[in-house]
Structure 1
C-alpha cells in the first residue's frame, strides 16, 4: 500500500463512526443546504393552546418548569437557564399544538428571511419584547423565527450529585439522598414532528433555516427510496450543538409527537419520575438511553395527552460531523431500557388512526402502501 493510501485509510469516514455504523452512499441526501437563507441558532419555544390554563400550570410545575409570566389568556413556562421561555400555552377551545419558534442568531436574519419568503417582520408577544417572522412549513405547521430583546435571567438549578467511580472516591463520610421533588427543567432541547410530506419538509428546514442532519433513518429494504426520519441540529459552525433540535418522521399523520427538556442528571430524571408517578401522571416510556443522540430519557403524558421527555447527557456535534444512516426499528431506539411501548410508538389501534391512514393513502403526499408496510414492520422490529 502506498503512503498516500495508508494515510487515507487511517482517516475517519465522513461521519467519523461517532454515531452510526454507516455513512451516506453515493448520491444520497447530503443532509444540508449549500446556501441556506439563514442559520437559526436554537429552538426558542413551543406554542400550544389549551382550554384549562390552571390544570396546565399544575402539571408544568410538577414536571419541573418555572413560570415566566401568567395572564388570563397565556402561560409562559421557562427553565433555569438564562434565555428565552421554553413554552407558551394560550387559552383555546381545544388542546392542540400550534408550532415551534426558532431563535435567530442576529436581528438582521429576520430581515433576510422576510425578503426571501415575502413575509413581514413584526413585534413578538414574548415577555421582554422582540421581533418575529411568521412562516408556514410544507407540512402546514406555523413556524416562527424570533429575535428577543431581553433574556430571562438564570435561576437556581439542581446540582448534580457527586458520584464515586471505582477507585475515584469523590464522596466520603456522606450519603446519597436525591430529593423527591420535580426534575427542575434547565432548557428546551428538541421537538419531534410527524409529517406526510417528509422530504419536502426536510429540505425546507435545511434551505430556509440552515439546519443540518445528524442522522437519517430508512426503512428496511427501502433505503433506495430515501430516508423516512431525520434528526436535525442547528449549524453553529465549530461550536458543538445538540445532536437534534428538531426530528421529523414520515407517517400517516401531521402533528406533534413529543418535546424534550434537559435536566441535570440521571438522579434528577429518576427522582422526578417518582414525584410524577406519586401524583398520578402516566409514564409513556423509560427510563433508558437512546442511540441517536445518546440521551438518557424518560417520557410522560400530561393531562391533555401530550408527550414530554426529561433528558440528560445528550450528544453535541460541530458542523463538520456528517450524517449517519441506520435502519428504522423500535428496538433501535435505545441502547438499554424497557422495550418501546405502543403508546410511545403511536401504534395503539383506534378508529381515528384507521381514518388517518386511509386519508393519508388517498392524499397527495409521500405515504404509499409500501411505505406504510415498512413503517409497520419497523414498529414491530
Structure 2
C-alpha cells in the first residue's frame, strides 16, 4: 500500500500565459485548453506521455491545488488516511474521479493513482572527473564551446517540496497512512520522504511555514554541467531570483533554483542519492547548518518564504542577471 513516486503538481495561478512561458523556457512542453470550467495548461517533460505540471488560470494569486503521487493499495490507504488524521474527499471540480483523493491533517490535497511506472530513462554518458591519482579522461577536453550545447532538457519530475505548519505531523501522515519512509530531516524544520523501494532520496519534502503552500518542483537533467547551464539560461529569461549553482548535503544532489513568476521555485538537479531498499537505510537528523546546502552561494532572503500565507501576493521585480 505504498506511494511509489511523484507524478505531478497542480497550481492555481493568476496568469496562465506567464506560467506556460516560464515552464517552457525551463524546457517542458505542453498545451493550453480553454473551456467553461476555466483555462488549464498541462506541461510535461519532453518524451513523456503524462503531465508533470498542471496550471489552473484565472485565480487572484498562486496557490497549491494538489500534488499527485503514484501508489498502489488504494483501499488500504483510504482506511489508513482516516485513521491518521486525514480525510478521503471527492475529486475537485474539473478533475476525474479516479484513484484516491485525500486531504492530509493540514488540508493539503493529494491525488493517489495506480498507474504503470514510467519507462526507464536511457543511460547517459558517464560524468567523468579527473581526480588526484585517478585520471579517467585523457586526450580530450571535458567541455565543448558553449554554443554547442542544446537547451536543458528536463527528464522527469524528481520531487515536490511543500510547506507545512507542522513538519513532523506531515511526515507521520506520509509514512503511517501513505506508506512512505522518512529519508532524512533537519530538526523539525525540514524533512524528506522517500518511497520504500527504488526511490530518489526524496519524493515529497516539507518545510516549516505558517500554512500549506508550494515551494518547488525539482526536475532531473543529465549531469551537473546541465544543471549549471540550464539554471543560467532560465535565469536570463525569467530575470527574477535564483539560488545556485550548489550542492545539497541532504540528498547530495547538485542544484540550481530559479524563482517563478509567483515567488516559488523551479529546481534543476542531478546526482541524487538513491534508496533501493528503505529497510537498509538509516535516516539522519542534520543540524540546520546542513539543512539547505553543503556549498553554494548565499541563500536568497525569501527562499523559504511561503507567499501563499502572506496577506499580499508576491510582487515580481524583474532584474538583469549578472553574466560571467
Can you list the C-alpha shifts for 1:4-49, whole angstroms capped at 9, x where unaligned?
xxxxxxxxxxxxxxxxxxxxxxxxxxxxxxxxxx201001110112
Corresponding residue for residue 52 of structure 2: 86
| Gaps in structure 1 of 5+ consecutive residues | 1-37, 219-226, 354-381
The answer to whether residue 191 in structure 2 is matched with residue 230 in structure 1 is yes
Q: Would the aligned equivalents of 1:39 and 1:211 in 2 still touch at CA under 8 Å?
A: yes
| Gaps in structure 2 of 5+ consecutive residues | 313-324
The answer to whether residue 228 in structure 2 is matched with residue 270 in structure 1 is yes
Q: Would the aligned equivalents of 2:10 and 2:55 in 1 still touch at CA under 8 Å?
A: yes
The answer to whether residue 21 in structure 2 is matched with residue 58 in structure 1 is yes
The answer to whether residue 8 in structure 2 is matched with residue 42 in structure 1 is no
Q: How many angstroms does 1:193 deviate by?
A: 1.9
SS of alignment partner, residue 153 of structure 2: coil
> What is the TM-score of this pair, normalised by structure 1?
0.68
How is 1:239-258 mapped onto 2 (pairs within 5 angstroms)? 240-258=198-216
Q: How far apart are the structure 2 equivalents of 1:351 and 1:80?
A: 35
User: CA separation of 1:55/1:210 partners in 2, compared to 1, >3 Å: closer, same or farther?
Assistant: same
SS of alignment partner, residue 154 of structure 2: coil
Q: Would the aligned equivalents of 1:39 and 1:235 in 2 still touch at CA under 8 Å?
A: yes
How is 1:1-381 mapped onto 2 (pairs within 5 angstroms)? 38-67=1-30, 69-72=31-34, 73-80=39-46, 82=48, 84-94=50-60, 95-105=62-72, 109-116=73-80, 117=82, 119=88, 131-148=98-115, 163=128, 165=130, 167-169=135-137, 172=140, 176-178=144-146, 179=148, 181-218=150-187, 227-236=188-197, 240-317=198-275, 318-319=277-278, 320-329=280-289, 332-346=291-305, 352=311
Q: How far apart are the structure 2 equivalents of 1:64 and 1:211?
A: 30
Q: How many angstroms does 1:122 deviate by?
A: 7.1
Q: CA RMSD in A?
A: 3.4
Q: Would the aligned equivalents of 1:114 and 1:121 in 2 still touch at CA under 8 Å?
A: no
Q: How far apart are the structure 1 equivalents of 2:160 and 2:57?
A: 21
Q: How far apart are the structure 1 equivalents of 2:170 and 2:156?
A: 25
Q: How many angstroms does 1:146 deviate by?
A: 1.4
Q: How far apart are the structure 2 equivalents of 1:251 and 1:297?
A: 22
Structure with the higher fraction of residues in helix conformation: 1
Q: Would the aligned equivalents of 1:163 and 1:171 in 2 still touch at CA under 8 Å?
A: no
Q: How far apart are the structure 2 equivalents of 1:152 and 1:71?
A: 25
Corresponding residue for residue 377 of structure 1: none
> What is the TM-score of this pair, normalised by structure 2?
0.78
Corresponding residue for residue 25 of structure 1: none
User: Number of residue pairs matched?
Assistant: 295
Q: Would the aligned equivalents of 1:82 and 1:154 in 2 still touch at CA under 8 Å?
A: no
Q: How far apart are the structure 2 equivalents of 1:175 and 1:195?
A: 42
